[in-house]
Amino acid sequence: MKAIPWLVKRAVSKKIKPLKLEDAIMEDADVVFSLTIPALALALVSISAPIFFLNGYSFIDSLFEVTSAFATAGLSVGIVSIFMPLGLKWLLIVLMVLGRIEVVPLLIALGLRIKTSHR
């Protein structure tokens, strides 16, 4: 949580001190990388919920179903059924898999390199 205000200050001014957590100085790349996973999760949910909404479900129910699928919680408000359109089923399947294995390992498995500093 300390990284978010630090990143905002860092975007405004380059003269800010490096982020320090428990006597360890964090590199800029490490701070950005640590926020990548929650940012990608939020992006996936934010993109997927409107897809359900555009298929006639309420926005709150759509957001709940998508978040539940990504979190692999197993909860449902009743949208998920055998009669749901095939495309929405596949979207939930992808969200469940991504929620289970995380997004960054998937990107690495696909061969996308993520540059971080090594100490």
Where does CATH 1.10.287 sit in the chain?
36-109
Residues composing the chain: 119
Per-residue pLDDT band at 101 (split at 50, 70, 90): confident
Residue 18 phi/psi, 5-degree rounding, is -60, 150
Q: What's the rounded Cα separation, in Å, for the pair 94 and 81?
A: 16
Per-residue pLDDT band at 93 (split at 50, 70, 90): very high
pTM over 0.75: no
Q: What is the mean pLDDT of residues 85-113?
A: 83
**pLDDT above 90: residue 105:** no
With contact defined as beta carbons under 8 Å apart, do 41 and 70 qualify? yes
Q: What is the mean pLDDT of residues 31-59?
A: 89
Q: What is the mean pLDDT of residues 12-31?
A: 75
What fold is seen in the domain 36-109? Helix Hairpins (1.10.287)
User: In the chain, where do the E strands start and end?
Assistant: 20-21, 24-25
Share of the chain above pLDDT 90, in %: 40
CB atoms within 10 A of CB 84: 16
Tokens of 81: 């059924």
Q: What is the mean pLDDT of residues 71-97?
A: 92
* Residue 63 CB contacts under 8 Å (≥ 6 apart), including other chains: 45, 49
Q: What is the mean pLDDT of residues 5-9?
A: 75
Rg of the chain over CA atoms, in angstroms?
A: 18
Which pLDDT score, from 0 to 100, does residue 9 have? 75
